[in-house]
Chains A and B, each alone.
Chain A
């Protein structure tokens, strides 16, 4: 009975977490917010490696010095997220710098490459993607699966042995 209660409580917590996560993702979709997993500490202490930044699109005329923006490469394959150090509106360029970097980034970016402005960030969430995208993850997953199968097998054998022992005693 106690075991049943514990399991029920655990399941309720699990369900609540799941619905909270799903609701959060739905909120991001409704607000057209994109998430990016932060790979380094170039913007520490604002946010560090392992965080996730959530970015909303912004019009070029709304960009301001001090905004933290996500900029994509010209072919769109990669992005970086740094703070705007200065803006050249005549040439439509933004000069960016990581808060934790000693100097501005090597080259300015055209405003058309700005994906959006960082709305908020959450620590630690980025570790999920870092772990799951790492090369060791499939191997780790396979090892855990094997351990679970082995554990279940051992427990089944122990249970069978106990039942058989009970019959012998009778």
Chain B
């Protein structure tokens, strides 16, 4: 009888110690990782919050281009069908957190691709009614294709202290889904003679690419709450 009572008491003590031990880990304070600098705050406080953005990795995408086009000065070369030759990939980005987030884009070849593929990362509210106008708001579209594409490549790579990480778009917090878009096209100057958009299509280029979108904290400094 005494042994049974002792055993019960021991079980009770062990249970209490176990509950307290679990309780210790249950109330551990969190170490948050995301914050930004509020430039409106003269004390330059850290503002903490949660960063939540679906990290989307599309894997290998097939960019199907039945026609090539030119990103050149329309007035000089008369290319009026740039928009029609685009293959646009859309990605939904939803930021459920309380802090603004950056979404970086990186595009790499997934296979041995034909030459001449270019891309531009944007979202609908970017200035400019067409993709070409949106591009023109950021880089100079000149009479020289090589110069234009050098500028576009540099723009895609990014600049500033986060340079080399790729172009990014800021997704504000607590918002509805933002649709990010990547416009792909093939440069006529490189593949135009092999790629024709006629009823007698003899060639049809498919580029296999890896599209990686990586979410990170926004450190541009401020946003309006």
What residues of chain A have their CB less than 8 Å away from a CB belonging to chain B?
Answer: 11, 14-15, 17-19, 21-22, 25, 35-43, 52-53, 70, 73-75, 77-82, 98, 101-107, 109, 125-126, 128-129, 132-133
A103 to chain B, nearest CB (A): 4
Bound CA–CA A128/B27 (angstroms): 9
Q: Is the Cβ of A42 less than 8 Å from the Cβ of B37? A: no
B46 at the interface (CB under 8 A from A): yes
Assuming A128-B25, A133-B27, what are 14 further A-B pairs, CB within 8 angstroms?
A18-B14, A21-B21, A22-B17, A25-B24, A37-B30, A38-B30, A39-B33, A40-B32, A70-B31, A73-B48, A101-B217, A102-B102, A104-B219, A107-B37
25 contacts between A and B (CB under 8 A): A11-B14, A14-B14, A14-B18, A19-B17, A36-B30, A37-B28, A37-B31, A43-B33, A73-B45, A78-B35, A79-B32, A80-B33, A98-B33, A102-B104, A102-B165, A103-B219, A105-B35, A106-B36, A106-B37, A106-B219, A128-B26, A129-B25, A129-B26, A132-B26, A133-B27
B219 to chain A, nearest CB (A): 4
Per DSSP, chain A at the interface is mixed
B217 — which chain A residues lie within 8 A by C-beta?
42, 101, 105-106
A109 — which chain B residues lie within 8 A by C-beta?
46
A129 to chain B, nearest CB (A): 5
Q: Size range of the interface on B?
A: 35 or more
Residue of B with least CB distance to A103: B162
The 10 closest A-B pairs by CB, nearest first: A42-B33, A21-B21, A36-B31, A106-B219, A132-B26, A40-B33, A106-B37, A78-B48, A18-B18, A103-B162
A103 — which chain B residues lie within 8 A by C-beta?
161-162, 165, 216, 219
